[in-house]
Amino acid sequence: MEKFVSSREDMYGLASTIIMPESVWAASGHLENFTDPLDGKKFNTMFKSEAGARKGETTNVYLRPELAQGMFVNFKNIVDSFHPNLPFGIAQIGKCFRNEISPRDFLFRVREFNLMEFEYFILEKEWEKHFEYWRKEMWDWIKEIGINKDKVHESEVSKEELAHYSKRTIDFEFDFPFGKKELYGLAYRTDYDLANHKLNYYDEETKKTFIPHVIEPTFGADRTMLAILTGAYAEDELGGEKRVFLKLKPRIAPVKVAVFPLLKNKAKLVEKAREVYKMIKVAIPQLMFDDNGNIGKRYRRQDEIGTPFCVTVDFETLENDTVTVRGRDTGEQQRVGAKELLEYIRERLK
Ligand code: GAP
């Protein structure tokens, strides 16, 4: 701001033109309530730290606010070692840090978060085609992980609000319980970054050197988690009791199957349940064994973490080698042969 404004008066003048006409501004008396803009607070946009073991011999470093720049720097290594044809992409997942924000709304806005980002390198003339391709991919991802697509809305970022590097950006917004807020972004970053890093691409076929353009789909992992959790949270009544459960898509449930012996103190039931547990674990490692409390409580515990299937070994199992499989959403049980169990579950996890 110092470049444009040389005095405190200039700054107030600027502020008054932007915010309201001078006459209204002067009459409002608001001027007195503002802190001095020039010796006022400056924002810390990045986290500053020091690299180096010895005090006094360190270098200032800054924690990254996005993954993108690391990937643009990697661009040269990848081109030199793999010689990929355009279009090609680089994807990374990792921690990012933002110091200028006010953390709020649980996982939604935090200073340290996990970002998943692609930089997809393309020919300039094909940017619209690739933008559309990624737009569809992002919708497919949203459906794939079980986010309710009716709660997601595209929002075209206006020209005035576009980031300095972008020629077009679409925000994917989600109906969070605290309002409609950005979940993901899709940006056409042009050749802004590669040009700044002075990186280019040699096309073996056309024998031409040029700077590729970039489409950037970006996904906050924490916001993904929050959208999934808030969308999956459900309450109903089962067996005359109110219950809370997570209606997670089976593919993303952290525990896919829980195995119980009906009674903890019957050695034969426990032994058989352990056998069933081991048999499933070979194919589906996201598994739990639980013999605590009564069966109703075990079901409820699994409902709360969104486990799609509970398998119970009971006295009938010892007679005919069948188990009960209880589905999370309906609470209904089916008897399934122990030998067919794995196939039964696999089919329903797809
Ligand atoms: N490289 C582009 C970029 O970083 P951004 O919109 O600033 O764009 C990308 O951030 C994504 O990161 C957002 O769509 C959002 O999902 C997530 N995100 C941004 N700031 C966040 C914060 N303070 N806390 C949690 N997630 C955040």
The enclosing domain of 136 has a CATH number of 3.30.930.10
Is 243 in the same domain as 225? no
Predicted confidence (pLDDT) at residue 1 exceeds the cutoff of 50: no
Length of the chain equals 350
Least confident of 8-22, 44-58, 236-250: 8-22
Domain boundary at 211, 230, 249, which? 230
- Work out how many domains the chain is built from and give that number: 3
**Residue in the structure block whose two tokens are 């024998």:** 207
Q: Which atom of ligand 1 is nearest to the CA of 67?
A: 1
pLDDT tens digits along 174-232: 999 999 999 999 999 999 999 999 999 999 999 999 999 999 999 999 999 999 999 99
If one residue of 141, 182, 186, 214 were mutated to test the ligand 1 pocket, choosing by the most ligand atoms within 8 A of its CB, it would be 182
Is 130 in the same domain as 187? yes
Is 91 in the same domain as 210? yes
pLDDT at residue 69, rounded to an integer: 94
pLDDT tens digits along 64-81: 999 999 999 999 999 999
Is 129 in the same domain as 194? yes
pLDDT at residue 43, rounded to an integer: 76
Q: Ligand 1 within 6 A of 173 CB?
A: no
Q: How far is Cα 217 from Cα 71, in angstroms, rounded to an integer?
A: 13
Helix (H, G, I), strand (E, B) or coil at 190: strand
CB 245 within 8 A of CB 231: no
Residue 94 CA, ligand 1 centroid: distance in Å: 12
pTM passes above 0.95: no
Predicted confidence (pLDDT) at residue 26 exceeds the cutoff of 70: no
Q: Which residue's C-alpha comes closest to atom 7 of ligand 1?
A: 66
Q: List the beta bridge partners of residue 62.
A: 48
Q: Which residue's C-alpha comes closest to atom 24 of ligand 1?
A: 109
CB 161 within 8 A of CB 126: no
Residue 243 CA, ligand 1 centroid: distance in Å: 34
What does the pLDDT average to over 89-101?
Answer: 95
Is 11 in the same domain as 121? no
Q: Please check whether residue 147 lies inside any domain of the structure.
A: yes
Domain that holds residue 182: 62-230
pLDDT tens digits along 246-300: 999 999 999 999 999 999 999 999 999 999 999 999 999 999 999 999 999 999 9
Q: Which residue's C-alpha comes closest to atom 3 of ligand 1?
A: 66
Q: Please check whether residue 214 lies inside any domain of the structure.
A: yes
Q: Ligand 1 within 6 A of 137 CB?
A: no
Structure tokens at 264: 């903890």
Q: List the beta bridge partners of residue 215.
A: 120, 188
Residue 120 is given by DSSP the state E
CB 30 within 8 A of CB 23: no
If one residue of 145, 165, 218 were mutated to test the ligand 1 pocket, choosing by the most ligand atoms within 8 A of its CB, it would be 218
Our CA dihedral for 105, 109, 110, 111, rounded to 10 degrees, sits at: -140
Report the alpha-carbon angle 178-158-194, nearest 5. 105
pLDDT at residue 274, rounded to an integer: 98
Q: How far is Cα 270 from Cα 274, in angstroms, rounded to an integer?
A: 6
pLDDT at residue 42, rounded to an integer: 73
pLDDT tens digits along 103-149: 999 999 999 999 999 999 999 999 999 999 999 999 999 999 999 99
Q: Please check whether residue 176 lies inside any domain of the structure.
A: yes
Task: Select the more confidently predicted residue: 257 or 36.
Answer: 257
Taking every pair of Cα atoms in the chain, the longest distance, rounded to a whole number of angstroms, is 91
Q: Ligand 1 within 6 A of 220 CB?
A: yes
Is 321 in the same domain as 258? yes
